[in-house]
């Protein structure tokens, strides 16, 4: 009888330990999500082949280097997302607000990550989570990145 009580008590303790470790793991994932996203992004970029890097670098330079192409913009706001994503839908309003607030200063572009033709640019920028906002300067160089929903008021501070 004593052995069965000890066995039941041991199982209960193991269950509580498992629950505790699971909670700690989930909290750690939440706390370190930006570090994990940054690491994953750099890993994805490092795995891009030279053909992708060269072609997408040329694509970004020709489209978003306003010093070379003469367009009047000062910044580019790239929004990587998908049509079915709820946070991405919320970002649609933010993109419209930025377009309205800075019509000749910020070039706003939505890149649907579900389209096959956008997979290479995702790989080039190392986008692993959506929505992801990437801001480029006048020369087409990345100077800011954010993942998740980003309020327009906070985003405006970067222009």
Residue 1: is its pLDDT beyond 70?
no
Residue 29 placed within a domain: no
State the alpha helices, DSSP H only, in 32-85.
33-46, 50-64, 66-69
DSSP letter for 70, please.
-
Mean pLDDT of 83-109: 91
Please, which residues bridge with residue 142 across strands?
Answer: 136
Residue 98 placed within a domain: yes
Q: How many structural domains comprise the chain?
A: 1
Residue 96 placed within a domain: yes
Q: Identify the pLDDT of residue 41.
A: 80
Residue 60 placed within a domain: yes
Q: Identify the pLDDT of residue 8.
A: 81
What CATH number is associated with residue 143? Answer: 3.40.30.10
What's the pLDDT tens digit per position in 8-48?
888 888 889 999 999 988 888 778 777 778 777 887 787 77
Residue 93 placed within a domain: yes
Q: In this prediction, what percent of the chain has a pLDDT beyond 70?
A: 98
What angle is formed at CA 127 by the lines to CA 126 and CA 132, rounded to 5 degrees?
A: 140
Residue 41 placed within a domain: no
Please, which residues bridge with residue 75 across strands?
Answer: 106
Residue 1 placed within a domain: no
Residue 43 placed within a domain: no
Phi, psi at 79, each rounded to 5°? -110, 110
Contact 46, 75 (CB under 8 A): no
What's the pLDDT tens digit per position in 49-80?
888 888 888 899 989 999 898 899 999 999 99
Q: In this prediction, what percent of the chain has a pLDDT beyond 90?
A: 44
Tell me which residue range forms the domain holding 53: 49-156
């Amino acid at each position: 009888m004593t052995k069965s009580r000890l066995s039941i008590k041991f199982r209960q303790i193991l269950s509580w330990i498992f629950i505790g470790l699971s909670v700690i793991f989930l909290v750690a994932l939440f706390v370190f999500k930006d570090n994990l996203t940054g690491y994953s992004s750099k890993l994805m970029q490092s795995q891009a082949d030279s053909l992708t890097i060269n072609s997408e670098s040329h694509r970004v330079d020709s489209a978003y280097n306003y010093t070379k192409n003469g367009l009047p913009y000062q910044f580019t706001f790239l929004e990587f997302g998908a049509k079915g994503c709820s946070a991405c839908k919320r970002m649609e309003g933010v993109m419209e607000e930025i377009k309205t607030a800075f019509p000749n200063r910020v070039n706003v572009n939505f890149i649907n990550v579900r389209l096959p033709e956008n997979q290479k640019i995702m790989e080039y920028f190392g986008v692993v989570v959506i929505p992801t906002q990437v801001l480029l300067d006048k020369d087409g160089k990345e100077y800011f990145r954010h993942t998740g929903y980003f309020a327009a008021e906070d985003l405006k501070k970067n222009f």
